[in-house]
Amino acid sequence: MKDILQEIVENKQRENALLKAAKPSMKQALLASETGIIAEFKRRSPSKGWIKESGQPGIIPLSYQKNGAAALSILTDEPYFGGCDDFIRTARKSGVTLPILYKNFVIDEIQLYQAVLCGASAVLLIAACLTKERCRELMDKAHSLGLEVLLEMHSEPELEYAELGPDMCGINNRNLGSFVTDVENSFRLASRLPADAVKVSESGISKPETIVALREAGFRGFLIGESFMKTSDPGKALAGFINSLKS
């Protein structure tokens, strides 16, 4: 008869091996993609309230994958965005293999462990939330855990954070104080980022022609959430968007 404790330990070793295994690279996915769309699962926002309260993490992220997303972003903040870590676990269990961004307001190492444990490939670090030194510490820790980092900046003073060498440099078109969105922010700041940076434009993108113009400005990733989530079928909306982009 097999020793039960031995069986439990062997199973735990297999589970840990999966946690430590290399995750799909968001950076490489964006560089290889024709569209670079990071489709976001976002049920709520602080400024607009519920966008899709009934949105299912076991359905929409997988639909995004089937309809051409290069990567996914899943909100895990509960009070302001109606999310949770289990949404990423559920998406993975549904069959999602694309890189997933753990999107939250990360200010402590414990959140990086949470990102790893739920199956994320990359984590968002927001310059506006962190001192430069704290951002460096969290970035180093994320990398040690096998997570890529999308470093989000919004204003010219924050661009100095790009010196830290994140895997991807994001420009948020939404002011996190007022929540006003202006895509011109990406165009204004693009040339100030390192030439070899993998640039991601975040928020306020609703038209295919905007992506075409942003690509010409050097961007390789485009995070889109509300435009898809406010429709009856976010995956179908993504497919239509991509078809318009390619036409």
User: Which residues are part of the catalytic machinery?
Assistant: 40, 42, 103, 152, 172, 202-203
Residue 197 identity? A
Could you list the beta-strand ranges (E) of 99-187: 100-103, 122-126, 148-153, 168-172
Cβ atoms 228, 55 nearer than 8 A:
no
Closest C-alpha to 21, from 138, 145, 112, 111: 145
Tell me how far the alpha carbon of residue 18 is from its chain's centroid. Answer: 21
Write down how long the chain is: 247
As beta bridge partners, residue 223 has 38, 202
According to the 3-state scheme, what is the secondary structure of 113-124?
A: HHHHHHCCCEEE
Q: By three-state DSSP, how is residue 218 classified?
A: coil
For residue 80, what are its two tokens?
Answer: 């302001």
Could you list the beta-strand ranges (E) of the chain: 37-41, 44-45, 49-50, 71-75, 100-103, 122-126, 148-153, 168-172, 199-202, 219-224
For residue 53, what are its two tokens?
Answer: 């309260």
As beta bridge partners, residue 71 has 38
